[in-house]
Amino acid sequence: MRAPRHLIGASLACLLLFALPTSLASAAPKPFRFPQSRPTDHRPTNRHDPNRNAYSVPQAPKSPLCATNFCVHWVAEGTDAPSLADANGVSDGDGIPDYVEHVMAVAEHVYSIENGKLGWRDPKSDGMIGGGKGKTDIYLANIGGELFGYAAPDRGQASKAHRIPRQLYGYLVIDNDYGPTEFPGTTQANDLKVTLAHEYNHILQFGYDAYQDAWFAESTATWMEDQVYNGINDYLRYVPRWTKRYDTPLTTSSIKEYGSAVWNHWLSHRYGRSFMRNAWARAIHAKPGGFAVGTYESAIHAAGGSSFSHDFAAFSRDVAEWRTDSVFREGNLYPDAPREGGLTVNGGPQIRDLNHTTFQMIRVDDRSGKAVTVSAVAPAGISSAVALVGRIGSERKGRVVSRMSYKQGGGTMTARLANPRRFSRITAVIVNADASAGPFSPRKLDWSYADEGTPFSVSARSAR
């Protein structure tokens, strides 16, 4: 689900992706998410939709329009009706509104990239539900101002034993015009494109493993927007807020999850664009079921033998100077990530508290001496890292030199940079890369992460 514009910057904990009845409990260790008022698990053509998304009138006479992979549904009157103009379509005056034909063209392009070029598995078939056989149904509705669009799995997929399968089929609902009064500050054409790229990716995710954590699903779908429509860069809307939430864990299902597309961009740079597809293909086999960190762990290990925690530490280091564009493909478009105070060279140690899967960047202002060394001490058993990052030259055209020390079990770590005078800026990065967790908590709707507010002792010294 693409974030509603009026909720950007607020918590989205209540807007969970997968909405299925709580009475259909699963045997897996992690249950499905509780149903929310939006998205709904009834199609708009269902008059008994309890969430007020049902069409108030029958579908248009020519609805749905079906092509190779999709069927687009619309009504011809009422608030949910798109513009009925029919002058520029494939066959002018054929009774199919131009907007409907345009939605179909965009959807088929999205399919050609996500399933064709990038090789993602076709969605699970819904049989003859909606329109056509096994085609993904898209419903046009007046949802503007609340959501850009959403994907939802259908009801009725539980077994006779009331078990919900982890692989599901679903449908899409998108806005009927993306009008500027409802979506200020954007363009209608771009809203339609990135929304379809994002929401259709959720349909594909349902077919791999609908149990995965919402932060994994949303960060992937936001990453996918840029793979299909690289020039639009809508995901950049979320990056400034992502940098300011340095104390919010990567694994939290909140507004931060959309900006966490930058984590997937980093992984794609390291392992290739097939990494995200491979991660979802491995998701259903990762343990425990639905634990996104375990899914990433499996995919990272298969791709290069590293680990989630080590890669998160390296990612955190690279954020310090990501505007140089050497690691992040569009880093020159990112805001400079803020520093959390300074570190006095040859002064006493500072205590910094870090939640799991978070990092802090600290200024190191003294660039005198032959070398500068930063030491960090993490509690035993906490996967941790310390890095020193030096930039030579400007933010966008400079060169980066960095050193990182990572320890899976915590303890003392040091990083050293020689000849500090050559740098325009030096940053110390301390990382709580730990992502170990206990069982999934239905009360918190999250895994039981234990290492919150972990104290790190950090200090710097100069070699004269």
Span between the terminal Cα atoms of the chain, in Å: 55
Q: What is the DSSP letter of 348?
A: -
Residues 54 and 201 occupy one common structural domain: yes
Residue with tokens 């008022």: 37
Residues 105 and 221 occupy one common structural domain: yes
Mean pLDDT of the chain: 88
Q: Which of 264, 288, 306 is the last residue of a domain?
A: 306
Averaged pLDDT for residues 250-267? 95
Whether residue 318 lies inside any domain: the answer is no
Is the predicted pLDDT of residue 457 greater than 60, yes or no? yes
CATH label of the domain that carries residue 351: 2.60.120.380
How many folded domains does the chain comprise? 2
Please give the residue range of the domain that contains residue 26. Answer: 5-237+272-306
Give 175's strand partners.
141
φ, ψ of residue 458 in degrees (nearest 5): -130, 140
* Residue 445 region by backbone torsions, left for phi larger than 0, else alpha for psi between -120 and 50, else beta: left
pLDDT digits (tens, 9 = 90+) for 190-216: 999 999 999 999 999 999 999 999 999
Is the predicted pLDDT of residue 221 greater than 60, yes or no? yes
Number of H-type helices and E-type strands within the chain: 9, 15
Residues 206 and 344 occupy one common structural domain: no
Residues 343 and 297 occupy one common structural domain: no
Percent of the chain with pLDDT over 90: 75
Whether residue 254 lies inside any domain: the answer is no
Is the predicted pLDDT of residue 405 greater than 80, yes or no? yes
Residues 86 and 216 occupy one common structural domain: yes
Helix, strand, coil: what percent of the chain each, to 5? 30, 20, 50
Cis preceding-peptide flag for 39 (omega within 30 of 0): yes
pLDDT digits (tens, 9 = 90+) for 355-402: 999 999 999 999 889 999 999 999 999 999 999 999 999 999 999 999
Give the model's pLDDT for residue 87.
84
Low-confidence winner among 132-136, 154-158, 304-308, 453-457 (lowest mean pLDDT) = 154-158
Cα separation, 290 vs 284, in Å, equals: 7
Whether residue 102 lies inside any domain: the answer is yes
pLDDT digits (tens, 9 = 90+) for 43-99: 999 876 544 568 999 999 999 999 999 999 999 999 999 999 998 655 566 889 999
Give the model's pLDDT for residue 147.
86
Residues 12 and 99 occupy one common structural domain: yes
CA distances, 197 to each of 172, 200, 245, 348, 431 (Å)? 11, 6, 26, 51, 33
Residues 38 and 123 occupy one common structural domain: yes
Residues 290 and 394 occupy one common structural domain: no
Whether residue 123 lies inside any domain: the answer is yes
Whether residue 263 lies inside any domain: the answer is no
Give the model's pLDDT for residue 15.
34
Residues 132 and 188 occupy one common structural domain: yes
pLDDT digits (tens, 9 = 90+) for 288-320: 999 999 999 999 999 988 999 999 999 999 999
Residues 371 and 299 occupy one common structural domain: no
Residues 296 and 233 occupy one common structural domain: yes
